Amino acid sequence: MPKRENISMSVIRRLPRYHRFLSHLREKGVTRISSTELSAKLGLTASQIRQDLNCFGGFGQQGYGYIVDQLCEEIGGILGLRNQYKAILIGAGNLGQAIASHMSFADDGFSLVGIFDSSPFKIGNRINGIEILDMEKLDAFCAREKPVMAVLCVPREAVSELSDHLCQLGIRSFWNFSHYDIAVKHPDAIVENVHLNDSLMTLCYQIHNASHQTAQVEKE
């Protein structure tokens, strides 16, 4: 499976959606699907889907479509989901607890090996069998377990110093919920920023826009 260089991030961001949908089809016992059928289910054009998949080599056969199990495995391989990269989570507040409890890290290419917090009310508790450790134990833990990714669920003002320290410990990949731009200080870090407010505001716009369009129609 040849991989092309300089793949657009817009293509990469569609791959998890393909993988999730194909996994669902596989669970339902579907063995084959065409790009036309995929496009109808995903709200994309068949041409877009073919172009995306062609970035990574040839999949499917004209007139036959895609073998669901094979394509699902191939996309999983492209995404690196079999690697089980070691990850830690810092900040066991409401958001951190929700992520540690409900995210399927193992299905998404990671193994959550440690959870850290500085609150004495949280230290010692367990989430999904993982003990919440004192931040003072972070250095020794990282030296022993060698995690490569950190989930940051801490206040924005704490991230500058924390990200510096994590980079010194060898962690240079971040799933960042803090609204702090880590890449400014660490341009070589791999950062996936998650802004839940952005998603909510986008939804607000869509509701507002739909209401405005409805009002315009009613006036006419």
Residues 24-35: tens digit of each pLDDT: 999 999 999 988
Note the pLDDT of residue 211. 79
| Domain 85-197 class in CATH | alpha beta
Determine whether 21 is exposed, middle or buried from the number of CB atoms within 10 Å of its CB (0-12, 13-18, 19+): middle
For residue 49, give the nearest of 18, 74, 7, 8 by alpha carbon.
18
- Name, in order, each residue with C-beta under 8 angstroms of 78's C-beta and a sequence gap of 6 or more: 1, 3, 15, 56
- Name, in order, each residue with C-beta under 8 angstroms of 128's C-beta and a sequence gap of 6 or more: 100, 101, 112
pLDDT in tens, 44-89: 998 899 889 888 876 766 667 899 999 999 999 999 999 999 999 9
Residues of the chain with CATH 1.10.10.10: 9-78
For residue 50, give the nearest of 21, 9, 14, 76 by alpha carbon.
14
For residue 123, give the nearest of 104, 111, 138, 112 by alpha carbon.
138
Residues annotated within a binding site? 91-96
Note the pLDDT of residue 1. 46
User: 134: which DSSP letter?
Assistant: E
Residue 170 has a CB neighbour count (10 Å cut-off) of 11
Note the pLDDT of residue 54. 87
Q: Please give the CATH architecture assigned to the domain spanning 9-78.
A: Orthogonal Bundle (1.10)
Residues of the chain with pLDDT under 50: 1-2
Residues annotated within a binding site for NAD(+)? 91-96
Q: What's the token pair of residue 170?
A: 């060898």
**Gap between the Cα atoms of 159 and 182, Å rounded:** 8
Residues of the chain with CATH 3.40.50.720: 85-197
Note the pLDDT of residue 219. 65
Note the pLDDT of residue 213. 72
Note the pLDDT of residue 65. 83
Residue 92 vs residues 6, 44, 98, 139, 141: alpha-carbon distances, Å: 37, 38, 9, 18, 17
First to last CA, the chain: 56
Residue 31 vs residues 24, 28, 44, 86, 184: alpha-carbon distances, Å: 11, 9, 21, 33, 46
pTM for this structure? 0.88
Q: Dihedral of CA 100/81/24/49: which sign? A: positive
Beta-bridged to residue 14, according to DSSP, are none
Note the pLDDT of residue 218. 61
Note the pLDDT of residue 59. 75
